[in-house]
Amino acid sequence: MESKLRAILPDAELIRMYEQMVLSREFEESCAEQYTKGHITGFLHLYSGQEAVAVGATAGLHRDDYILSAYREHAQAIVRGAEPRRVMAELFGKRTGICKGKGGSMHLFDPNLSFMGGYAIVGGQFPIAVGLAFAAKFRKEGRIVACFFGDGAANQGTFHESLNWARLWELPVLFVCENNSYGIGTSVARASALPDIHRRTCGYDIPSERVYGMDVIAVYEAIKWAAEWVREQNRPFLIEAITYRFRGHSMADPGKYRSLAEVELWKSRDPVPAFANRLVEEEIATEAQLEGIRQQALVTLADAVKFAEESPWPEDSEVWEDVYA
């Protein structure tokens, strides 16, 4: 059989994307366990179900393009290259975490990865993305800014202000909406005058596209194309990826607002096994190989948890650090 996937990406790249999806899923499941054990405190928003978006999108960007996201961002950071053990340590509040254990789950940052947060304020990231894009264009460095956000965030004023700025000044921002149908317990239909988020850009004359966000390759292709367009044209673009979160909004959410049937339907579209099946069907990987990848992810996570557990707490005096230069 002729492989469609191979025509898009080399085998090694496809396998790497699968590894990232599995690692992202297992990372989140491991976080859930650590939260239940009391090792992770505060709010914990898990990404399970949405992996195809982070993995497909990151693969479609350049390594030095900026990424901004919200508070459901562990996978975004890990896929970009953050070490799982240092992300886990951050969630535990340990000193070895990627933000010294002082920011936790919702505020991941890593300049070495051009990963510019981690925003707990819904919609907080939009204007910052615009500012980064302004600077990137100013410096003529060919970098673009990928700004991830949820369907709920599209209702904040900052979204509209930022679309206007980005178009007015022709800034290289790729807005990526992860439409998972809900902002906490409020469905898009109940919160958005125009539930098709991608169509909202017409008021700002910004082109946009919708993509099926449970298909990692579809996301990859859409983002790859859009990112190059943004880079070449120096203009904004918006992609709306239709996806679903399998777990509650946060670990504290019983999720009463959606039916079991709906959740089950979306789980049947799980992007991880869907991609696995394609890899096997197109003879890019064997079942055994994929199982090996899963086992490897479990080993990585066991190490991450152990590392986080054994790492020291920050010293009390560290509360004073990094407030001013």
Partner 1 sequence: MTQLNMVQAINLALREEMARDDRVVLLGEDVGRDGGVFRVTEGLFEEFGPERVIDTPLSESAIVGAAVGMAAYGLRPVAEIQFLGFIYAAFDQLFTHAARIRTRSRGRFTAPLVVRTPYGAGIKAPELHEESTEAFFCHMPGVKVVVPSGPYNAKGLLMAAIRDPDPVLFLEPTRLYRMVKEEVPEGEYTLPLGKARIARPGGAVTVVAWGSMLQRVMKAVEGYDAEVIDPMTLSPFDGETLLDSVKKTGRLVVVHEAPLTCGLGAEIAATVAQEAILHLRGPIIRVAGPDVPVPLAKLIDHYLPSPERIRAALDEVLQY
Ligand X SMILES: Cc1ncc(C[n+]2csc(CCOP(=O)(O)OP(=O)(O)O)c2C)c(N)n1
Q: Which position among 15, 32, 127, 156 is part of the footprint of partner 1 (CB under 8 A)?
A: 156
Q: Which residues contact 27 (CB under 8 A, 6 or more apart)?
A: 74, 75, 78, 84, 87, 88, 301, 304
Of 15-23, 56-64, 80-88, 150-158: span binding partner 1 (CB under 8 A): 150-158
CA distances from 181 to 100, 208, 259, 303 (A): 34, 18, 13, 34
Q: Per-residue x/- mask for partner 1, residues 219 to 258, rule CB under 8 A?
A: ---------------------------------x---xx-
Of 21-29, 128-136, 152-160, 217-225: span binding partner 1 (CB under 8 A): 152-160
Q: Are strands 182-183 and 186-187 parallel, antiparallel or unpaired?
A: antiparallel
Q: Are 58 and 76 in contact (CB under 8 A)?
A: yes
48 versus 96: smaller Cβ distance to ligand X: 48
- Could you tell me which residues are beta bridge partners of residue 115? 67, 110
53 versus 188: smaller Cβ distance to partner 1: 188
Instruction: Determine which helix (DSSP H) or strand (DSSP E) holds 127, and give its type and residue range.
Output: helix 125-139
Q: Please, which of residues 96-155 interact with Mg ion by CB under 5 A?
A: 150-151
Q: Please, which of residues 165-194 interact with ligand X by CB under 6 A?
A: 180, 182-184
Q: Are 40 and 31 in contact (CB under 8 A)?
A: yes
Q: Please, which of residues 11-70 interact with ligand X by CB under 6 A?
A: none
Q: Which residues contact 161 (CB under 8 A, 6 or more apart)?
A: 126, 127
173 versus 308: smaller Cβ distance to partner 1: 308
Q: Which residues contact 178 (CB under 8 A, 6 or more apart)?
A: 50, 53, 148, 149, 150, 151, 213, 241, 243
Calpha distance 149→13 (Å, rounded): 26
Q: Per-residue x/- mask for ligand X, residues 130 to 169, rule CB under 6 A?
A: --------------------xxxx----------------
122 versus 238: smaller Cβ distance to partner 1: 122
Q: What are phi and psi of 285, to 5 degrees?
A: -145, 160
Q: Coil, strand or helix: which one is 63?
A: coil
Q: Per-residue x/- mask for Mg ion, residues 161 to 180, rule CB under 5 A?
A: -------------------x
- Could you tell me which residues are beta bridge partners of residue 67? 115, 146
43 versus 134: smaller Cβ distance to ligand X: 43
Q: Is 157 in the site for partner 1 (CB under 8 A)?
A: yes
Q: Is 127 in the site for partner 1 (CB under 8 A)?
A: no
Work out what residue 72 binds among partner 1, Mg ion, ligand X, none; the CB cut-off runs from 5 to 8 Å by kind.
ligand X
Where does this chain bind partner 1 (CB under 8 A)?
41-43, 92-93, 101-104, 106-107, 120-123, 152-153, 155-158, 183-186, 190-192, 252, 256-257, 313-314, 316, 318-320, 323
Where does this chain bind ligand X (CB under 6 A)?
72, 120-122, 150-153, 180, 182-184, 249
